[in-house]
Copies of this chain bind each other. A is one copy, B any other.
Amino acid sequence: MQSFPGGRLPHVGFDIKLKAYAEGVDMRMAELLPADVEPAKLLHEAMRYSCLAPGKRLRPALAMACADAVGADPWSVLDGGCAIEFVHCFSLIHDDLPAIDNDDLRRGVPTCHKAFGEAIAILAGDALFALAFDTLALGPWGSDQKVNAIAALTKASGSQGLVGGETLDILSEGKKIDLETLRLIHAGKTGALIAASCEIGALLAGADEKQCAHLYEYGACIGLAFQIADDILNETSTSEQLGKAAGSDRERGKATYPALIGLEASREEAFNAVSKGLVHLAELPNAGFLFELAHYSVERLN
């Protein structure tokens, strides 16, 4: 295993903390999501189905850990984490659609359109996107903080972020692209929202501008590492391990790190990204959990 500058802080109970955060996010999302009632019961069921399926909740955990890192109560940004996870779930539902990635399985269960039909899946994604901004607008923070967090989330999710990255990704299918373009795709598809998770956690916790900027950069690096790890695992794992179809990227002619530079160089690129990210934690008062999360983003490769 490689070692990182700054080292890995020996936090006892990392897994417990991560699971407790995920548990809290699940419980709070269940409260924030519309109940399974009429008139639009099927829509609400689809929203709950896609959000409450077991997930790592990496993005909310990062937001909470960033609040922690700047000395605030991580639970004070819980709703911010849920808002980010709603955006993540919305993007997964739409990316899985037949017209885009056409995936049947996600997190080990049928994708939203497989379970509820395509029309409801499109609409459930849309409603989750709205719910994300609703959650930020109605959260327990000051108006300035809310507006900054909403601006960070729109930037990360729109045509300059998630949606832009996904567009580049589908336009590149079956084409030979260079590493620069691949980096751009990953920065949009995964990096933007993970970086925003860190930034939003810091913003809502009242961090200063410099801290927010460092945590944004940390997140961008971790996001890249995480996406490369995903690319590698799509290539090397079984469908059972992944909870979705293994090797699907290759079959579809998707641009991935392993396809472009091979498995070994990809692993190296992921570890390098983590190393770069850790540099940004240097001046934070309480970044132990963020060190651990950085490691976690690539530990599946060990």
* Residues of A in contact with B (beta carbons under 8 Å apart): 34, 39-40, 42-44, 47, 90, 94, 97, 99-100, 117-120, 122-123, 125-127, 129-131, 133-134, 136-138, 142-144, 146-147, 150-151, 153-155, 157-161, 163-164, 166-168, 170-171, 181, 184
Contacts and interface: CB of A to CB of B under 8 A. Distances in A.
Q: Count copies of this chain in the complex.
A: 2
Closest CB pairs A-B (n = 9):
A130-B158, A143-B143, A99-B118, A134-B154, A127-B159, A137-B151, A43-B167, A40-B164, A127-B163
B143 A155 contact: no
Contacts of A119: 99-100, 170
A147 B151 contact: no
Contacts of A100: 119, 122-123
A130 B157 contact: yes
Contacts of A159: 34, 40, 43-44, 47, 127, 130-131
B122 A99 contact: yes
A151 B122 contact: no
Contacts of A181: 39
A128 to B, nearest CB: 8
A154 B126 contact: no
Contacts of A161: 130
Contacts of A143: 142-144, 146-147
A163 B130 contact: yes
B126 A163 contact: yes
B131 A154 contact: yes
A187 B236 CA distance: 50
15 contacts: A34-B159, A39-B168, A40-B164, A43-B164, A90-B126, A99-B122, A100-B119, A123-B167, A129-B129, A131-B154, A133-B154, A134-B158, A137-B150, A138-B151, A142-B143
Contacts of A147: 137, 143, 146-147
A45 to B, nearest CB: 11
